[in-house]
Structure 1
């Protein structure tokens, strides 16, 4: 099997990508900023380099697995051998939100603003994912009617495997130089989750945590590799995307619920952070899936 082989399923109703599995042996597919309207999982088996995503940079090495949500910008920079396999799927093909407990990957694999967007795979997980990739390929080869009925069940197992691996990593408490740091980080996460609809500025959260803005900014930059403003904005954007995809609420209603009284200001904020308007996101990613299905 050549590494540049690709297995692609197209949505016959609109001609858009539904599912794709492909091998790569260089960086040509990822050496520019990508804004895809589908989910992307990239397994870099060989190579190391720099990931740029959401205005942040991360160094990575071989056997790293990356997960990106629709319209989450990313690109890889490397001067070394770069090879692996990637899987892409549209929300119309499989909606990770519809039954969020099914894979538990909504916040573990995708949309986790508090962790770097990749993990390193051990041999056990690598072998499991390799077997599932072979099952994807078998389905394309053996499905006589072109329905590919086993793709979604296999994708679910694939995502569950990643989510379980990430859950194990998440449960390991990192070592902090300052004993107060984990307490501050937990309080900050809770504060953002409880208040992001009303409080949008770093100063708001510094006041809630009773800590100076500069001290909080240093902690956030050190442990999340991003600014507090970026952290807050990313959380708002994730919620906006969910509302645009899962409901038929108007953009004005969504902006109001997220603390923006001016719909046009919210639309500019959304586009500045995603490079696409709220309406275009809804049109290309999905609309009212939870309510219509």
Structure 2
């Protein structure tokens, strides 16, 4: 694998071409943002609660410490591109790259982009340029960040276009998204949202599965854990302060719930993903 490390041996940027199939069928969690460029084959991508089928050429995305695996239907040829938040902070570069909340950290849309042959070729060329730069005797981090930013910017643009083309109007589920964003800290039962939407529980569950490919319970839990991950990564609040902000009875209960959902403790999540530079911008 072509890699760039920090002084303390943290992986900052890495590219690997189909040599290590560690996440095929067996769930894994990476500390880095992960971009999978699938060039050949088809399969089923599992990311936390979500799962969906894909066929090459396609790009798949995952966030740090997200549990992912792939069930291979036909043999895959793919490239894994990974970067740490210490190398490229997507929150800090939100004006240049609209990927946060679009490619990463979004519970409402599939973390994938279907590619045309021409688009796939462009991504392959960009990945090869990254590899060439890493192999230089003194690789330039500025150049590497520029290539990475270009990949993320292009992906964001394609994802926006794709969502506009594929989005089916569903007023009830659009309203559910709004209600969930407003109430995820206080309303934790599917029946709460079904009532607000004037829907039966069965119909609510059916429509939610059709739109988001998840149950209402999964949506509610994911939204709460997503907020916890944001607080751990984007602030310097203590675990106790985050637990209080998220309305858990205490930090120990918060830690148990977080670990049950993510397979990692809040402390370990913060340690492996790091604290973003945006945590200090308001100081």
TM-score, length of structure 2 as denominator length: 0.92
d(CA) in 2 for partners of 1:256, 1:207: 27
Does 2:165 correspond to 1:172?
A: yes
Does 2:6 correspond to 1:11?
A: yes
The aligned runs of 1:246-285 (5 Å cut-off) are: 246-285=234-273
Does 2:151 correspond to 1:158?
A: yes
Instruction: Give ranges in structure 2 of 5+ residues lacking alignment.
Output: none
How far does residue 182 in structure 1 lie from its aligned partner after superposition?
A: 0.4
Contact 1:129–1:161 (Cα < 8 Å) also in 2: no
d(CA) in 1 for partners of 2:276, 2:78: 35
The aligned runs of 1:32-181 (5 Å cut-off) are: 32-142=26-136, 144-175=137-168
1:206–1:29 Cα change, 3 Å: closer
The match for 1:3 is none
How far does residue 287 in structure 1 lie from its aligned partner after superposition?
A: 2.1
How far does residue 102 in structure 1 lie from its aligned partner after superposition?
A: 2.2
Cα RMSD of the aligned pairs, angstroms, is 1.9
d(CA) in 1 for partners of 2:166, 2:50: 23
SS in 1 for 2:165: coil
How far does residue 183 in structure 1 lie from its aligned partner after superposition?
A: 0.4
Contact 2:103–2:156 (Cα < 8 Å) also in 1: yes
Larger displacement relative to structure 2 (244-253 or 18-27): 18-27
Contact 1:25–1:83 (Cα < 8 Å) also in 2: no
The aligned runs of 1:216-235 (5 Å cut-off) are: 216-235=204-223
Contact 1:39–1:68 (Cα < 8 Å) also in 2: yes
1:30–1:9 Cα change, 3 Å: farther
d(CA) in 2 for partners of 1:149, 1:233: 38
d(CA) in 2 for partners of 1:195, 1:124: 43
Contact 2:233–2:276 (Cα < 8 Å) also in 1: yes
Larger displacement relative to structure 2 (25-34 or 249-258): 25-34
Instruction: Give ranges in structure 1 of 5+ residues lacking alignment.
Output: 1-5, 176-180
d(CA) in 2 for partners of 1:43, 1:280: 28
d(CA) in 2 for partners of 1:133, 1:273: 33
